Amino acid sequence: YDAFGNLTKETTGDDFTEYTYDGLGQVLSEKDGDGATVLYTYDVKGNITQAVDALGNIKKFSYDINNNLIMYTDGNNNPILYRYDALGRNTEIIYPNGASEKYQYDALGNITEITDVDGKKVTYSYDSLLRITRKEYSTGEYEKYIYDAVGNITSIIDNAGNEIKYNYDLYGQIIEENNSLGERSTYSYDKIGQIVNESNSEGEFNYTYDTFGNILEESNSWGEKNKYEYDSCGQLKKENLFSGDTYSYEYDKISNLIKEIHSYGGENEETLYTVNAKKQLLDIKNDKDEVKFNYDAKGQLVKKESNAGVEKFSYDGNGNLISITGVAGDDTYFTYSPRNLVTSVTPNEVNTKRPETGLPNVQSFKVGDISYKTNTGGDLLEFTDGNFHITQFIRDNLSRVIKRKNPLGDIESYEYGEFDTPVRIIKADGTILEYTYDKEGQITAQSRVMGGEKRELARYRYDSTGNVTEAVGEAGTSTYEYDLFGNITK
């Protein structure tokens, strides 16, 4: 620190950041160990008016007399305007293309309405305790919320009558969850609030922990058990998985992973990692491949080298990726709107454009003989192939596909669960496909309901990194093993 108590140097391992100040104690510069510097300027009220990053990109800020930000000019020189009401609450954000987001408030300062750049509105209602009781969308869909005496949500009901109910213990922890599909989940906790048992339609799951809250063992009702070990710093040291695979880990003095040993089937695969002082990954090496990484002064990945070749990456002033070039000539270029949304992708000299104007809600573009219609959020609404066959998609207020109409006029319907993943697909012929998921959102089972008869089609198991290790279906059982990079090895 300096004589005025200002932080002048911060050191983490081998890396450091240095700060300089003006006479008012305002940060003028930040410089890292590689010399990359960010510069700041201020107005007379102490508001930041300009920031220049290590690559020379400039961001500018303007304020009203109440110190509210009224204009922000980003690193690509796009100005964004902000408007406020008499109480200083943000009422509108206006983008360079004229699109805007609007906000309305009640007398207590609660947001009562949000209008997005597509003109879609979401309205909110509150009870006397300022809790949201109803959330309604432009489509007419809504959700109602019911609370208990201490403020826990006990029920969520949507416009279709679907309901999720929750029960709590004395500590406010969910102990039971029921939905309109008849699915029930129960939860048990230890004395410090860690979940030790979970039971649902998939089965039963149990967890044990050490005194620091690290999970030591997890098991399920079909006999699978994973065990974990940690070092004195609480870092994962070893995984013993039900599949028979074992992973061991080593770290450097600032907790960067530097070695991983994967043991399986009597074989050991060692992978080494090199990390710099900024915790940026520089190198991954095993007996099959070596991958090297390079970064610019802002810490953005600019080059990646491996056995497959060299890839290069470039960015605009806002840090948006604008090009990937190199491997096998598969060059890809991106352009962005002032809201940093992708407006065009150009792979292999085929230009896919999606202008973002805010209005109308539907945008159209073509790639060769294929036509697309999307909303301004980029969600596909209609697809026309080279033979003029049209496929249409209807989406809910969360942009999820709820109906799909194929060129023959057949309609499929989709229902979703807590991970925004489909739990039920209803085919045009009445056949129903049902899916269940684990707590990580990974599909664990697929069933078919036809003529009132339910039949399981497949069941899946995963390793700790989310790779499928076993798939059991009508044709038999398949097992899989992977290398460090997620490639199937067996």
Structure tokens at 37: 């510097």
3-state secondary structure at position 327: helix
Q: What is the DSSP letter of 488?
A: B
Q: How far apart are CA 422 and CA 162, in angstroms?
A: 15
Q: Which of 141, 222, 142, 206 is nearest to 133 (CA)?
A: 142
First to last CA, the chain: 57
Q: Is 152 exposed, middle or buried (0-12, 13-18, 19+ CB in 10 A)?
A: middle
Structural contact between residues 26 and 40, judged by C-beta atoms closer than 8 angstroms: yes
> Angle at CA 242, nearest 5°, toward 238 and 248?
15
Q: What is the DSSP letter of 385?
A: -
Q: How far apart are CA 106 and CA 424, in angstroms?
A: 39
What's the longest Cα–Cα distance across the chain? 81
Radius of gyration from C-alpha coordinates of the chain: 27
pLDDT in tens, the chain (490 residues): 988 899 999 988 778 899 999 989 999 999 988 888 999 999 999 999 999 998 899 999 999 999 999 999 999 888 999 999 999 999 999 998 888 999 999 999 999 999 998 889 999 999 999 999 999 998 889 999 999 999 999 999 999 888 999 999 999 999 999 998 888 999 999 999 999 999 988 889 999 999 999 999 999 998 889 999 999 999 999 999 988 899 999 999 888 999 999 998 888 999 999 998 888 899 999 888 899 999 998 889 999 998 888 889 999 998 988 888 877 666 788 888 777 777 777 764 434 444 443 333 455 665 556 777 777 666 778 888 766 678 888 888 777 888 888 877 788 888 888 767 888 898 887 888 888 888 777 888 888 888 778 888 888 888 877 788 888 887 778 888 876 656 677 7
3-state secondary structure at position 329: helix
